[in-house]
Structure 1
Amino acid sequence: MQVIKDTKSLAEAIALLENIHASEGTLLKEHFQFTVSSLNPMNIIKDKISDTFSSPIFKNEIVKGSLGIATGLLSNSLIVGASGGLLNKVVASLVQTGISKVTSTNTEAIKDSGISFLKNVLTKMKIKS
């Protein structure tokens, strides 16, 4: 801080302090608005949902579940076909449940097998061209 010797330096010091006060006041208001919006319950819920859906773990679980359900439904439709009796439908439901469970627990092995299968098929297609 400068030494104040006359009214001119006093006016300069006052103007400087008023500028500092105004800029800090603006920053304080902005920080207050940010705090209010971040503590809004809807924003908290929205942020948590966004974090959950952007999580790689969540995406992996969705893929596992989808793969399990898809393979189960495919096996069910293959077993029952266009029309099936009661026993056929019960067996198909049991097979669907079993295949869904196995598929959802072994997605990494299935994914690795699928990737190697696709690589083999694509390399054979490339050789034949």
Structure 2
Amino acid sequence: MIEDAFVFDCVCHVFNFDKSNAFGKPGEMFIDHLYAFHQVLNAPGEKTLSPEEYMRQWHPEEIGRMVFDESPTDMIVAQPLPLTDLFKDGLSSWERCAEMARLYPDRAIFWGRLIPSRAKKRSI
């Protein structure tokens, strides 16, 4: 392990795995699929969360604790997800990711997104 390495995680999401966030069976199946990955891809000795612990709305403070306090990560990019065909908030909402950046201004960068087909034209 490199002791003096700066660890920058450029993909961090504040997930909403609550099944009520899903648009029907496809979204629910996607959440189940991600939970299955969590169960089988954890490194030996890592805690595997129960479905009740995992399948819920995660909060920026929890992500901050896991990423900054329980790992060697120094800085992150908080990214929303645009899975709006499957989830009401896209699975990682821009509001939660922006909150992550507000809570950790020296350690989190908000990566916004723009969907041109949904943008409103403004006059200057």
Range of TM-score over shorter length: under 0.3
TM-score, length basis structure 1 = 0.22
TM-score, length basis structure 2 = 0.23
Bigger proportion of residues as strand:
2
Higher relative contact order (CA 8 A, sep 6+): 2
